Structure 1
Amino acid sequence: MTLRTSLRIAAIVLAGLGLAGCGGGIGSGDSGLFGGGKSAPRTPEEEAALELQRQNLQGYEDKDRETIWSLFTNSDNPNTTVEVNKYLWQASLEILNFLPIESVDPFSGVIITGYGTPPGGGKAYRATVYVQDPALDARSLKVALASKSGQVAPSTVRAVEDAILTRARQLRVRDGKL
């Protein structure tokens, strides 16, 4: 067998495999090589079962599924809102401005600071502030303070929370949205 003949046979085999891959397969209405392209009529029970499968699968369409191609599209929702009270957020940053900021996440409402000494004080503190609601309310604000020696007195935490709430109310009144 010559090289030319071998190449022709290889091309025919590859073309045949390529065409075989183009078939509709099982369940597509094409019965492949043996049925001539026509499928047998379905019984009413088979039709009902197929319709039931379609209905059951209808709720499982995963529209939020990400693929590698999601990186190249701008599919972010432009209507996403931040669920953090802006006055509490700003007041927390202003009241605790003597502490170095380690982490800030306005979408989850968490501010984490490093150790710092308040003006006129000798003890170093660190704070974690959690603004958990869009309402300007005391229940929306959680403050945790720690010193290098351990826990801080609850009265100190309450004083910082009160200072933040007072400043937040002042900011709201200043904006004229009272």
Structure 2
Amino acid sequence: MSLHPFLRAAMFGAAVFSLTACGGSMGRMFGGPSDVELVRAAAQRNNDAEYEMRAQQDDLVRTGVRDNGSSFWDLFNKSDDPNTKVEVNKYIWNASLDILSFLPVETVDPFTGVIVTGYGVPPGGGQAYRATIYVQDPALDARSLKLSLQTRGGASVSRDTQRAVEDAILTRARQLRIRDSKL
């Protein structure tokens, strides 16, 4: 039994079309890329785009335009970079606030270690003073404390007065540390 040539060509075309639709690409049948080649090309474009994006982010981080994804909580993590550490001696900090408690606090910044007070008169004194305290190191050491005292007229106080206040702060800081070590 012989099929009509037109019917035979139609069946052959239907078989080729159904096989092509099941597992291959119509483009490959007509000389275009296969599905695998198309997927590989798309993956390569994706990889290239991701590489470019990372390179741009690295450039922004390197130039300081954008941070590297750090957050507020990273300040409290231990790291070797002094630009991200917050290290202020807590005993000197608390002793400064304790000794100069008669001065009204205007600005407190524990991240930079700066305390700025307003004018106040010490107990039993007649002169009003203003103080700026800078705690710059985590060590309980005289080098960690920088103190500036001024009178209401803006003049600096005598070196002896300033040294007496610094000594009082450092003495109180040592007392606080000793008290904590006994706990």
TM range (shorter): 0.5 to 0.7
Q: Give ranges in structure 2 of 5+ residues lacking alignment.
A: 1-31, 34-51, 77-85
Distance, in Å, in 2 between the alignment partners of 1:62 and 1:86 is 32
Instruction: State the SS of the aligned residue for 1:130.
Output: strand
Choose the corresponding residue for 1:165, options 144, 155, 170.
Answer: 170
Choose the corresponding residue for 1:110, options 109, 114, 128.
Answer: 114
Residue of structure 2 equivalent to 1:15: none
Instruction: State the SS of the aligned residue for 2:91.
Output: helix
User: What is the alpha-carbon root mean square deviation over aligned residues?
Assistant: 3.0
Alignment of 1:19-34 (within 5 A): none
Measure how far apart 1:61 and its partner are.
5.2
Measure how far apart 1:79 and its partner are.
3.7
Q: Which has the higher helix share?
A: 2
Q: 1:77 to 1:111 in 2, by over 3 A?
A: closer
Bigger radius of gyration among the two: 2
Q: Can you list the C-alpha shifts for 1:93-116, whole angstroms capped at 9, x where unaligned?
A: 000000001100000000000000
2:159 maps to 1:154: yes
Report percent identity of matched pairs.
Answer: 64
Q: Can you list the C-alpha shifts for 1:64-108, whole angstroms capped at 9, x where unaligned?
A: 726xxx9xxxx6252423310000000000000000011000000
Instruction: State the SS of the aligned residue for 1:151.
Output: coil
Question: Please, what TM-score do these two structures have when normalized by structure 1?
Answer: 0.59
Q: Give ranges in structure 1 of 5+ residues lacking alignment.
A: 1-35, 38-53
Alignment of 1:19-168 (within 5 A): 57=55, 60=59, 62=61, 65=66, 76-81=71-76, 82-149=86-153, 150-168=155-173
Distance, in Å, in 2 between the alignment partners of 1:148 and 1:87 is 28
Q: What is the aligned residue count? A: 120
Write the letter of the residue equivalent to 2:93: W
Question: Please, what TM-score do these two structures have when normalized by structure 2?
Answer: 0.58
Distance, in Å, in 1 between the alignment partners of 2:156 and 2:60 is 50
